[in-house]
Amino acid sequence: MENEFLKNRLNITRRHFFGKAAAGIGGLALGSLLIPKIWKGDGTDMSASPLGLAQYAPKAKRIIYLCQNGAPSQYETFDYKPLLNKMMGQDLPESIRGGQRLTGMTASQTKFPLMGSYYNFRQHGQSGAYISDLLPNIAKIADDICIVRTMNTDAINHDPALTFLQTGAQVGNRPSMGAWLSYGLGSENKNLPAFCVLLSKGRGNGQGVYSKLWTNGFLDSTHQGVVFSSSEDPILYLNDADGVDKQDRRRMLDHLAELNQLGFDESGDPEIQAKVQQYEMAYRMQTAVPELTDLSKEPDHIIKMYGPDCLVPGTYAANALLARKLSESGVRFVQLYHQGWDSHGNLPNEMAMQAQDVDRASAALITDLKQRGLLDETLVIWGGEFGRTNYCQGNFTPDNYGRDHHPRAYSIFMAGGGTKPGTVYGETDEFGYNVAKDPVNIHDFHATVLHLMGINHEQLTYKHLGRRYRLTDVSGKVIPGLLA
């Protein structure tokens, strides 16, 4: 039978061949001048890294993203709206809603009864920021965080909104934030990946997370997020099989690399080289990961700070502590997903449980980084994919209510990494429904995060299928008011 693949390769035109060869040789020459090096194998061989270049001096070196999957209500966390309590049960004025499209869960409602917060708010820190009593530990670090009350997004449902937040597009197959930073800056530690993912589940109504949120998309697969498991083996298939020692594994990888090189010489497929790099990374991680994931060796005062749950693998507290250790060890981007914030009903009870899961450990992480002198160079982000409506979903009951999805305005906070501490950015209207001052779109948010990492968001691009893509797509601007 005729080999169609080989036939196609032999039919390559002479002009096409020389054009490709010239581009490849030119790229190698430029790379040898501009691109730093990374480790390969036992550390003696070197190969080209990702871009590895920042356009200017970064304020942050690393990011820990505490993604509150499911969308926490801003009205029970950071956006105090006493008018909603005064007008409890009254219908939201149509002039405020402005004909905004609704989800299928509230589209059939004829009334939109306003719902104030079940929880009290108090002012904290020198900024006097209003923070809910649900988050007493985060309230204590009000002077260390920058609250953004005017985040807004283009999507109204979880899947596209979370995908948009993480990749800059509502569709799949786009590189995530962590993948872009891995591609643009590389890793600070030869024994650990640049992008790590940690998962936890709360006690509220959960929304799923999926691999497209930490995908490399069209970038090399070396930039994909590495998921840590809460099982006995934090990284699956990392350990050697019984009867295989380190010397055997090293010899096997060396021979495998030789075979893969033959395959690369035949096909020129860059993914073959990416796989070799992944094998080598896994080999080095065999030594680094067990020590990193052993939280029992943390001193007592650290365990007390994060709470006893930090010794229970897979909890939010354990992942927050592990995130600090990974970041401290040079991991460029650590992404946590905590599921359970989708409060369409029974919000007072569900949010109380969710807040109890995350409040102490979130504040502890920031305090821990600060006391180690790492907060200035580590950007911490806390927030979800959109906000919640100021009206009740379903029947109006003051003590047991829910809120639907709201993309127009919601709250997050950032800390460290060059952000302005002890500040509140942006204002919503008195109903908390629309942005009144200083909006921050998802593309603006991404542009600002990249700026803090020393990257011009318009210059971090990758050509794919004839088009140059970037995290911020074709828009986005840096928000100076968030910068220290």
Q: Quick: pLDDT tens for 455-467.
A: 999 999 999 999 9
How far the first Cα of the chain sits from its last, in Å, is 67
Mean pLDDT computed over 146-153 = 98
* pLDDT confidence of residue 25: 47
Contacts of 43 (CB under 8 A, 6+ apart): 190
- Output the pTM of the full model: 0.84
* DSSP H/E element including 8: helix 4-10
**What 3-state class would DSSP assign to 452?**
helix
Rounded average pLDDT over 189-193:
86
**What single-letter amino acid sits at 448?**
T
User: What is the predicted pLDDT for the residue at 41?
Assistant: 35
pLDDT in tens, 332-376: 999 999 999 999 999 999 999 999 999 999 999 999 999 999 999
DSSP-derived secondary structure for 65-101 = EEEEET---GGGTT---HHHHHTTTSBPPHHHHTT--
Average pLDDT over residues 185-202: 91
User: 76, 119 in Cβ contact below 8 A?
Assistant: yes
The b-or-e profile of 317-354 (16+ CB within 10 A means b, else e) is bbbbbbbbbbbeeebbbbbbbbbbbbbbbebbebbbeb
User: Which band of pLDDT confidence, cut at 50, 70 and 90, is reported for residue 431?
Assistant: very high
pLDDT at 34: 40
Where does 224-377 show beta strands of DSSP type E?
A: 226-228, 333-339
Strands annotated E in 193-261: 195-201, 226-228
Q: Name which of 67-81, 281-295, 403-417, 453-467 the model is least confident about.
A: 281-295
Average pLDDT over residues 219-226: 92
Rounded to whole angstroms, the Cα distance separating 88 from 398 reads 8
Q: pLDDT at position 37, please?
A: 40
pLDDT category at 8 given cuts 50, 70, 90 is: very low
Contact assessment for residue 184 and residue 50, using Cβ atoms and an 8 Å cutoff: yes
Quick one: pLDDT at residue 283?
Answer: 53
What are the start-end ranges of the E strands in 140-191? 145-152
pLDDT band for position 312 (cuts 50, 70, 90): very high
Residue 478 reports pLDDT greater than 90? yes
Lookup result for tokens 């030869």: 190
Domain boundaries, the chain: 62-242+288-482
Q: pLDDT band for 276, please (50, 70, 90 cuts).
A: low
Q: What is the pLDDT averaged over residues 250-261?
A: 69
Q: What angle do CA 345, 73, 308 make, to 5 degrees?
A: 90
Local structure of 357: helix, strand or coil: helix
Check pLDDT > 70 for residue 159.
yes
Q: pLDDT-based confidence at 449, cuts 50/70/90?
A: very high
Mean pLDDT of the chain: 86
CATH topology of domain 62-242+288-482: Alkaline Phosphatase, subunit A (3.40.720)
For residue range 392-402, list pLDDT tens digits in order. 998 888 889 99
Q: In the chain, helix, strand, coil percent, each to 5? A: 40, 20, 45
pLDDT score at 413:
98
Give per-residue pLDDT as tens, 17-75.
455 444 444 444 443 344 344 333 333 333 334 555 667 789 999 999 999 999 999 99
Q: What pLDDT is recorded for position 249?
A: 64
- Whether 425 and 481 have beta carbons less than 8 Å apart is answered as yes
Percentage of the residues of the chain whose pLDDT score is greater than 90: 67
Per-residue pLDDT at 172: 82
416 pLDDT higher than 70: yes
Report, as an integer, the average pLDDT of 239-259: 67
Q: What is the pLDDT of residue 265?
A: 73
